[in-house]
Amino acid sequence: MEETETVKTTGYNTHYCVIIPTYNNCKTLQRVIEGVLQHTSNVILVNDGATDATPQILAQYSQLEIINLPENRGKGNALRKGFKHAEGLGYNFAITIDSDGQHFPEDIPVFLNTLQASQNKNIILIGARNMGQADVPKKSSFGNKFSNFWYWFETGIRLTDTQSGFRLYPLKPLGKLNFYTRKFEFEIEVIVKAAWTGTEVRNVPVQISYDADERVSHFRPFKDFTRISILNTWFVIIALFYIKPRDLIRKLKKKGFKRFIVEDFLGNQDSAHKKALSIALGVFIGLSPLWGFHTLVVIFLAIVFKLNKVIAFAFSNVSLPPFIPFVIALSFKAGSLVLGEEFSFSYENLNENFEVIKHLKVYIVGSITLAITAAVTFGLLGFVFLTLFEKKKLQPHG
């Protein structure tokens, strides 16, 4: 076996293969295969129902593992078939490379060297192309920037290239995930879901070639862009409603209140101004009449206004269940004062039959008034305290 076929690290076998999905790329397919074989003989080629000279080319390579699909079902489907087959053969990792000639097989060692140097083997490496290169179509560069932005929004991970098909995947972690897409959007689905379940995702630099005479792209701008947009819309909803709240709650639970105050509140590198605004936002949303949506709204606004998400989320919990009756009572009191309406109720009404719902106008006005007043108060107090704390830290000890 060649030295590059298995990268040995202490206590971990990173036996890998290369998966080549192909569909009607007969002009470049042979060159890609020959290039890959220079680095490893562990090659799985997935013929996604090609109707050109692909079968004749593949007939020359008896040493390859070839999966012939009866009809074209999409790149995502071909990759999923390849992953399943590779895992069944005992491989731990799979490097995927497109057959259209845009990738350079000589960059395979870049992935292997990065994997070997990484302590974390639960990692996806994506080849980062130079999208500013002269021969790269502008629509491809725009599509990549668009995809990078939504990937960051959904996962919090900043990448320079999320669309490159030249990648290294850890097969066992992927085998535990459920995938639903089968076209080009699969390459977005896999890296988002992997990141959500704890897999590290990062870029490595690779070369790129866009030869208009040779390269055949099967990306359909309208259909495939629409599919990707629908997938990203769904992922944004999941991220806002579940993933981001889950991660923040896990972080707070893991650290505990004291450690959170020391590390994320006092020790955080954000300015006192930014922290104070985050406090104000959290308190305002927590006291607002948006019951059931506090977490979603506070995280969304913290992202939009580039505030500290953890601090904003923590202070939005001023309306924890034990405090709800008092928050509602104060809201009605504030509403009565603002509107000049006499209103009284007993806690029996509040807890048993919620009679106060009849006075919704008073409650909404009062809750917004209370939210604004408390947000300004806590925000100003937080700013003063944090400013004094920062000045004290900067004073020389002697």
Q: CA dist 134 to 97, 138, 141, 161, 190, Å?
A: 22, 9, 11, 17, 30
Q: Could you tell me if 192 and 245 lie in one domain? A: no
Q: Could you tell me if 157 and 254 lie in one domain? A: no
| Low-confidence winner among 70-74, 281-285, 289-293, 364-368 (lowest mean pLDDT) | 289-293
User: What is the structure's pLDDT at 198?
Assistant: 95
Q: Could you tell me if 213 and 246 lie in one domain? A: no
In a domain, 233, yes or no: no
User: What's 135's domain CATH number?
Assistant: 3.90.550.10
Average pLDDT of the residues of the chain: 84
User: What is the structure's pLDDT at 246?
Assistant: 84
In a domain, 249, yes or no: yes
Q: Provide the domain limits for residue 108.
A: 3-219
Q: CA dist 25 to 49, 100, 139, Å?
A: 11, 6, 21
Q: Residue 218 pLDDT > 70, yes or no?
A: no
Tell me if 163 sits within 8 A of 147, measured CB to CB.
yes
User: What is the structure's pLDDT at 302?
Assistant: 87
Of the residues 219, 249, 281, the one at which a domain ends:
219
In a domain, 290, yes or no: yes
pLDDT in tens, 223-242: 878 888 999 999 998 988 78
Q: Could you tell me if 80 and 205 lie in one domain? A: yes
Sign of the four-CA dihedral 263, 268, 273, 275: negative
More reliable by pLDDT, 319 or 354:
319
Share of the chain above pLDDT 70, in %: 81
Instruction: Count CA atoms within 13 Å of residue 168 on its CB side.
Output: 33
Domain count for the chain, please give it: 2
Q: Could you tell me if 188 and 269 lie in one domain? A: no
Q: Could you tell me if 210 and 315 lie in one domain? A: no
- What's the predicted TM-score (pTM) here? 0.70
In a domain, 231, yes or no: no
Instruction: Report residue 90's pLDDT band, with 50, 70 and 90 as the boundaries.
Output: very high
User: What is the structure's pLDDT at 138?
Assistant: 58
pLDDT (mean) for 340-358: 55
Six-digit token string for 122: 């639960």
Q: Could you tell me if 262 and 214 lie in one domain? A: no
pLDDT in tens, 115-163: 999 999 999 999 998 866 655 655 566 778 889 999 998 999 999 999 9
Q: Residue 368 pLDDT > 60, yes or no?
A: yes
Q: Could you tell me if 186 and 112 lie in one domain? A: yes
User: What is the structure's pLDDT at 203?
Assistant: 97
Six-digit token string for 349: 């009404």
Q: Residue 10 pLDDT > 60, yes or no?
A: no
Q: Residue 373 pLDDT > 80, yes or no?
A: yes
Output Rg (C-alpha) for the chain, integer angstroms: 28
In a domain, 201, yes or no: yes
User: What is the structure's pLDDT at 3?
Assistant: 38
Strand partners, 362: none
In a domain, 331, yes or no: yes
Instruction: Report residue 27's pLDDT band, with 50, 70 and 90 as the boundaries.
Output: very high
pLDDT (mean) for 168-174: 97
* DSSP single-letter state for residue 264: I
pLDDT (mean) for 28-40: 96
Q: Could you tell me if 76 and 185 lie in one domain? A: yes
Q: Could you tell me if 61 and 204 lie in one domain? A: yes
Of the residues 219, 252, 278, the one at which a domain ends:
219
User: What is the structure's pLDDT at 45?
Assistant: 98
Q: Residue 214 pLDDT > 80, yes or no?
A: no
Instruction: Report residue 353's pLDDT band, with 50, 70 and 90 as the boundaries.
Output: very low
pLDDT in tens, 250-264: 877 787 767 766 666
Q: Could you tell me if 56 and 150 lie in one domain? A: yes
In a domain, 235, yes or no: no
pLDDT in tens, 95-111: 999 999 999 999 999 99
In angstroms, the CA 158 to CA 141 distance is: 16
Q: Could you tell me if 185 and 302 lie in one domain? A: no
Q: Residue 17 pLDDT > 80, yes or no?
A: yes
In a domain, 14, yes or no: yes
Instruction: Report residue 28's pLDDT band, with 50, 70 and 90 as the boundaries.
Output: very high
* DSSP single-letter state for residue 42: -
